[in-house]
A and B are shown apart, each in its own frame.
Chain A
Amino acid sequence: MKSRGLKALFGYLWNYRWQTGLGVLGLLLADCAQLGIPFLSQRVIDNLREGPDRLIIALIVVLAFVAYAARCLWRYCLFGVARRCDIEIRRQIYHRAIHLDLNYHSQSSIGHMMALATSDVAAVRMALAFALMSAFDAVIYSVLSISALLSIDTRLALITLLPFPLLGILMRYLLKWNYQTWDRVQQNFDELTEKARESISGMRVLRTLVQDEGDAAEFRRLTAEQYRRFMTFVKVDGVYSPTILFLSGISSALLLAVGGQHVVDGQLSVGEFAAFASFLGQLSWPMVAAGWTLSLVQRATASMDRILTLLDEVPEPVQPFLEGGFSGGLEIRDLTFSYPGGVKPALRQLSARVEPGGSLGLVGEVGSGKSTLTRLLQRLYNPPQGSIFLDGRDVLEINLEQLRQQFAWVEQESFLFSATIAENLRLGGAREGLEEAARMADLHQEVLSFPDGYETLLGERGVTLSGGQRQRLCLARALLKPAPVLLLDDTLSAVDADTEQRILKALSELRGRQTLLIISHRVSSVRDCDEILVLEEGAVVQRGRHQELLAQDGLYKRLYELQTQ
């Protein structure tokens, strides 16, 4: 077929070929047992003159247990395989996703990734479990039961089977409409949920501005739409079982009229007539399954295609580790950089030099490109060749893991994981020195005041930290990392003035030991740096020491005055 998704699906199954094979065998056995029953009961019914045949009845009971065992077997094999494939695919998605660079992720969304890992994986699992099973089952079952029908009475079989292909085709379309209308219900439901979420989140605004009626009217519009769409769905969904009932009913009516006449003619025994009815009654399932399988596989193939576009992305090649350590000397040469999809460059012709143990400050307004530099240094985004050097070596030539080990980074939007404080501190692998780092970030006392101290759980299920606490925790986390360069990106914006001074004082002890890059929109944070760059729209408009810059009539002085009123 045209799609690679289907091929990939079979690829996963191939990994479990023995188990799948065994499952199909179980399916075959169960179907044979199931189909043997009408034959056996026909024997009993047709030979009742001497009373019921005990041997055959015993055989039916034996078959019942054989069918049970066979069904257990295929359920274990086929559904087990589907579940195993499910976790394997999810594992591949996760592993690939975290190894791709931010360049990739900035063009995709977390929502999209989550959809891959949840609904697309589920669609694939459904197809592997049910579609696989029902496809095999439908084929085995219909081949066996149709041949049974043909062997009993060929002409009658051909007549009574007439409605079944129609059933298969109809199911296929019904299911398609079914999904389409359900998608529309779901879309509206998402809107409705989002509306409720937003209104409840913004309840204070709506309440204080007395907007309840307008807002409730808006919600009523959505619920009315939900009703309309749901009833459209019911119209399609409600046709489903009556259609099966009706088409297989036509077949039964034909059997009664035509088959009955064959009994009268003596071509057919009453037992055979009953067996015929049983086979026909059970034939509607494979036909329904055929339609079902097709739509499941179609959805799964589409999902697999989406998953493959992620798995096809190749992470950057791994460069060899370099011998010897780094001392943290930075050089930036004429760096111009635009984000993928960005219109204006975030940085323009930036050049700077920091000796190991020196410090560089970057100030500028929001959106002036300050933070971009921290990301380029660590190659979270790749800088252009020949623009950033660590100890004289182009960062593009350094092994990624080794390069990132050289930087301890405190982000502007501090990110903490839903884990304990200690686990967050140990993110970089450090085992010792937790308390010391926390002291330096002026956090130790506060941590001790939590009920579980360093083992306090953060996040939704645990404690919520204030903005300042989060920032200081991130700072402590970075201090724990034995890296020659410390990158502080607007790190202390939510920390109060006294605490900020204490932390800055503590950090000044690191001077000479760690190269320091401080980024801030506040002049007070960078005033002590060896060199300060003032950025405006990505370009350096002023550079120098604090006193030199204050002496000039420029943006630095203006910012300083605005910030000190």
Chain B
Amino acid sequence: MIDDNIQTRLTQRQALFYFGRVMKEARGLGWLIGLCLLGSLLEAGVEVRLPQVMASGIDQFMVSRAPEGVRMQGLMQLGAVYLALVLLASVLGFALAMGFNQVGQRVVERLRNHLFAHLHHLPIGYFDGNPVGRLVTRVANDTGTLSDFFTGVVANLLCDLLKLLVLLGALFWASPSLTLSVLVLAPPALLASVAFQRANTRVNRDIRRLLAQLNAFIQENLQGLATLKSFTAEGKMQAEFDRQNREYLGVEMRLVYLYMLFRPLFGTISMISLAIILWVGGGQVSRGQMSLGTLVMFVFYLKMLFAPLDDLAERFNVLQSAAVAAERLFLILDAEPEPQSGVELSTCKGRIEFKGVHFAYDPQKPVLQGISFVLEPGQKLALVGATGSGKTTVTALLQRLYPLQQGEILLDGQDIRSIQVDSLRRQFGIIQQELFLFRASLRHNVTLYRQVSEESLREALRVSRASRVVEAHPEGLERKLGERGNQLSQGERQLVSFARALVDDPPVLIMDEATASIDSLTEEAIQEALTEVLQGRTAILVAHRLSTIQSCDQILLLEHGKIIERGTHRELMELDGAYANLVRHQLEKA
């Protein structure tokens, strides 16, 4: 299971390891990365050069004793040089943004595609342990965090560090002593930045938590508004909302205080540094140890020196969360996919045999215990039993949705483990109990991504009686369904799922009947469809309706994963055991 709370900080070694793996996704982009790095170096050089141009303007022309005409001329030229450098820096800045983002976005695109394709090949059991929301966050958001990593960190952090290095070099070269005296304040500034980021992360975590809670509260109240009004609970809920809202204000104010104390710090530190420059540097100028231009240059450099320090801690934070995101992604990518090897099966005859099949999702709780049966081509099998007796598991194992643990399942006499898994699944038309429809047109819901001729589509719709659903709306097959097809009734969804399973004309039909109540008139249509659909096909039915069960060649009654009675409806009624009891109950309820 991938947990959100595994770790929030990784060691540097782990982080480097994951970044290495992320960088592997940048295959073929090495030249672009190299170009960007070169560009960053150039940009740093240019930006550091700018105040030097100013300084030489002061020293060579403003305070020099050269003839006035030469000085004027020189200043014009320097102005032009300055402008050219600024233009170069701007163009480089834009090009670098494009370059780094291109790398970042390509990597994110590739990672997303990988991850999504990989999910399609993970065993179905993986999805039982990992909630949908969490996996979606991995695919959409965590990959996004990695793109922040490229743009925010690789690009900016690298550029900042380069700039800082070049800058420090230039400063030392101009005046080592003055540089050292300015840097006296750098360590406390850095420390403050780190402390601020730590506290900031904590407060922001609380804010996110409380805000999510508050929003969930509002949303739930709106969803249950009718209930709430019927119980005249508005006042009670308002009081609860106000309490949560005030609590939220409490953390928000913590953030305000935090920013209030820390953010103005850098401005103040930089002002004090200015005072140091003027005092130490001014003394040197007055003693003739340093030129006036150099002093002014130091003043100009101040801003460049402290701005990156201000951001440094935040950048490292992004780095951390990117490493955590990367780890989560690789946890998924490293999960073992379903084996793809095996013999390709074309169309089977439909003889199904279970030999002593045992199965457990959790070793402590066996679900199937020694299931054996033979189903000849064209025969129908009904699985009957209480919820949790293992009926659905039988059908899932047949499709190899879970690996077989003990026993054998044969299709046309061939062990299903030796059959290529996709070609095995193409043999079955499946109607699940939970009818899942997609937010797309009716047509897409029936055909999905399969190439289906108009003719076979019509035929599938006719046989399944789903044409009723198509005709019920003027837009017909092009009618767009909402989330999970929610504007269709349960019965209508059932008919559409029928059509979806039949489009390929599969030799074997597996159906898990819906337990939820379907209104009686639609139910008639379903029964009609079922009769026609089952004609000539091998079928396994997890059945709840008596009429479905009665027409089957073989009925297995399951209890706690064991077959306790088997036979035809007539035989079992004569036996007058558990099955007969069940049937009587069914009638009573109706």
* CB pair A231 B519 closer than 8 Å: no
A224 at the interface (CB under 8 A from B): yes
* CB pair A117 B218 closer than 8 Å: yes
Which of B81-89, B167-175, B342-350, B554-562 forms contacts with chain A? Answer: B81-89
Residues of chain A from 181 to 218 with CB closer than 8 A to chain B in the complex = 189, 192-194, 196-218
A393 at the interface (CB under 8 A from B): no
List the A side residues contacting B547 at CB < 8 Å.
Answer: 565
A277 vs B62: C-alpha distance when bound (angstroms): 15
A563 vs B523: C-alpha distance when bound (angstroms): 10
A3 at the interface (CB under 8 A from B): no
List the B side residues contacting A273 at CB < 8 Å.
Answer: 58, 62, 296
A63 vs B270: C-alpha distance when bound (angstroms): 12
List the B side residues contacting A198 at CB < 8 Å.
Answer: 438-439
Which of B10-18, B114-122, B313-321, B454-462 forms contacts with chain A? Answer: B114-122
A470 at the interface (CB under 8 A from B): no
B35 at the interface (CB under 8 A from A): no
* CB pair A409 B98 closer than 8 Å: no
Residues of chain A from 397 to 424 with CB closer than 8 A to chain B in the complex = 401, 404-405, 407, 409, 411, 415-418
Residues of chain B from 534 to 590 with CB closer than 8 A to chain A in the complex = 546-547, 585-590
B260 at the interface (CB under 8 A from A): yes
Which of A13-21, A245-253, A290-298, A509-517 forms contacts with chain B? Answer: A245-253
* CB pair A365 B520 closer than 8 Å: yes
Which of B104-112, B351-359, B365-373 forms contacts with chain A? Answer: B104-112
The secondary-structure label for the interface of chain B is: helix
A385 vs B63: C-alpha distance when bound (angstroms): 94
Q: Mark B211-255, 1 if CB is under 8 A from A, else 0.
A: 000111011111111111111111011100110011011001100
B383 at the interface (CB under 8 A from A): no
List the A side residues contacting B438 at CB < 8 Å.
Answer: 198, 202
A41 vs B267: C-alpha distance when bound (angstroms): 16
Q: How many whole Å from A371's CB to the nearest CB in chain B?
A: 11
B507 at the interface (CB under 8 A from A): no
Q: How many whole Å from A536's CB to the nearest CB in chain B?
A: 11
Q: How many whole Å from A444's CB to the nearest CB in chain B?
A: 21
Q: Mark A232-260, 1 if CB is under 8 A from B, else 0.
A: 00110111011101100110111011101
List the A side residues contacting B102 at CB < 8 Å.
Answer: 231, 234
Which of A52-60, A136-144, A434-442, A541-549 forms contacts with chain B? Answer: A52-60
List the A side residues contacting B520 at CB < 8 Å.
Answer: 365, 521, 559, 562-563
Query: In the complex, which of the residues B133, B260, B422, B585 contacts A79, with contact meaning CB atoms closer than 8 Å?
Result: B260
- Count chain B CB atoms within 10 A of each CB in A58, A477, A496 and give the residue with the most: A496
B76 at the interface (CB under 8 A from A): yes
B303 at the interface (CB under 8 A from A): yes
* CB pair A256 B78 closer than 8 Å: yes
Given A45-B296, A497-B589, decide whether A254 and B79 contact each other with a Cβ distance below 8 A. yes
List the B side residues contacting A257 at CB < 8 Å.
Answer: 75-76, 78-80
Residues of chain B from 455 to 508 with CB closer than 8 A to chain A in the complex = 484, 489, 500-501, 504
Query: In the complex, which of the residues A113, A209, A246, A252 contacts B54, with contact meaning CB atoms closer than 8 Å?
Result: A252
A80 at the interface (CB under 8 A from B): yes
* CB pair A200 B136 closer than 8 Å: yes
B1 at the interface (CB under 8 A from A): no
A209 vs B295: C-alpha distance when bound (angstroms): 75
A418 vs B93: C-alpha distance when bound (angstroms): 51
Instruction: For chain B, give the interface size range.
Output: 35 or more
* CB pair A204 B124 closer than 8 Å: yes
Given A45-B295, A200-B119, A223-B109, decide whether A418 and B216 contact each other with a Cβ distance below 8 A. yes
* CB pair A261 B72 closer than 8 Å: yes
* CB pair B256 A87 closer than 8 Å: no
Chain A interface residue count, Cβ-Cβ cutoff 8 angstroms: 146
Query: In the complex, which of the residues B220, B252, B428 contacts A417, with contact meaning CB atoms closer than 8 Å?
Result: B220
A564 at the interface (CB under 8 A from B): yes
A91 vs B68: C-alpha distance when bound (angstroms): 71
A131 at the interface (CB under 8 A from B): no
B524 at the interface (CB under 8 A from A): yes
Q: How many whole Å from B289's CB to the nearest CB in chain A?
A: 12
Residue of A nearest to B267 (CB): A67
Given A209-B425, A418-B216, decide whether A497 and B94 contact each other with a Cβ distance below 8 A. no
* CB pair A378 B229 closer than 8 Å: yes
Residues of chain A from 513 to 564 with CB closer than 8 A to chain B in the complex = 521-522, 524, 559, 562-564
B265 at the interface (CB under 8 A from A): yes
List the B side residues contacting A226 at CB < 8 Å.
Answer: 105, 109, 112
Q: How many whole Å from B542's CB to the nearest CB in chain A?
A: 14
Given A68-B267, A215-B120, A231-B101, decide whether A194 and B90 contact each other with a Cβ distance below 8 A. no
* CB pair A54 B116 closer than 8 Å: no
A564 vs B144: C-alpha distance when bound (angstroms): 56
Residues of chain A from 362 to 397 with CB closer than 8 A to chain B in the complex = 365-367, 375, 378, 380
* CB pair B282 A249 closer than 8 Å: no
* CB pair A256 B75 closer than 8 Å: yes
Query: In the complex, which of the residues A98, A219, A498 contacts B221, with contact meaning CB atoms closer than 8 Å?
Result: A98
B331 at the interface (CB under 8 A from A): no
Q: How many whole Å from A363's CB to the nearest CB in chain B?
A: 11
Which of B21-29, B197-205, B273-281, B409-417 forms contacts with chain A? Answer: B273-281
* CB pair B105 A365 closer than 8 Å: no
- Count chain A CB atoms within 10 A of each CB in B91, B94, B430 and give the residue with the most: B94
A204 vs B78: C-alpha distance when bound (angstroms): 70
The secondary-structure label for the interface of chain A is: helix
B31 at the interface (CB under 8 A from A): no
Q: How many whole Å from B582's CB to the nearest CB in chain A?
A: 11
List the B side residues contacting A254 at CB < 8 Å.
Answer: 79
List the B side residues contacting A204 at CB < 8 Å.
Answer: 124, 401, 432, 436
A493 vs B520: C-alpha distance when bound (angstroms): 13
A95 at the interface (CB under 8 A from B): yes
* CB pair A524 B589 closer than 8 Å: yes
B259 at the interface (CB under 8 A from A): yes
Q: How many whole Å from B278's CB to the nearest CB in chain A?
A: 5
List the A side residues contacting B6 at CB < 8 Å.
Answer: none
A243 vs B222: C-alpha distance when bound (angstroms): 46
Residue of B nearest to A561 (CB): B520
Query: In the complex, which of the residues A34, A60, A83, A205 contacts B278, with contact meaning CB atoms closer than 8 Å?
Result: A60
Residues of chain A from 55 to 95 with CB closer than 8 A to chain B in the complex = 57-58, 60-61, 63-65, 67-68, 71-72, 75-76, 79-80, 83-84, 86-87, 90-91, 94-95
A376 vs B220: C-alpha distance when bound (angstroms): 23
* CB pair B432 A205 closer than 8 Å: yes
* CB pair A79 B278 closer than 8 Å: no
A263 at the interface (CB under 8 A from B): yes
* CB pair A427 B231 closer than 8 Å: yes
A211 vs B448: C-alpha distance when bound (angstroms): 7
Q: How many whole Å from A225's CB to the nearest CB in chain B?
A: 10
B286 at the interface (CB under 8 A from A): yes
List the B side residues contacting A86 at CB < 8 Å.
Answer: 252
* CB pair B231 A428 closer than 8 Å: yes
* CB pair B75 A84 closer than 8 Å: no
Q: How many whole Å from B61's CB to the nearest CB in chain A?
A: 6
A101 vs B230: C-alpha distance when bound (angstroms): 11
A179 at the interface (CB under 8 A from B): no
List the A side residues contacting B75 at CB < 8 Å.
Answer: 256-257, 260-261, 264
Given A49-B286, A63-B271, A203-B119, decide whether A277 and B300 contact each other with a Cβ distance below 8 A. yes
List the A side residues contacting B245 at CB < 8 Å.
Answer: 87, 90-91, 94
List the B side residues contacting A562 at CB < 8 Å.
Answer: 520-521, 523-524
Q: How many whole Å from A370's CB to the nearest CB in chain B?
A: 12
Given A37-B274, A204-B432, A497-B586, 4 further pairs, Cβ under 8 A:
A226-B109, A239-B94, A245-B93, A415-B227
Q: Would you give 22 A-B contacts (Cβ < 8 Å), ordered by A?
A: A48-B282, A60-B272, A67-B264, A79-B259, A91-B242, A94-B221, A94-B238, A98-B237, A193-B139, A194-B439, A201-B132, A230-B101, A242-B94, A252-B86, A256-B53, A260-B75, A404-B231, A418-B216, A427-B228, A427-B236, A481-B231, A521-B520
Across the A-B interface, give the 5 residue pairs with the lowest CB-CB distance, nearest first: A214-B449, A257-B79, A249-B86, A497-B589, A238-B97
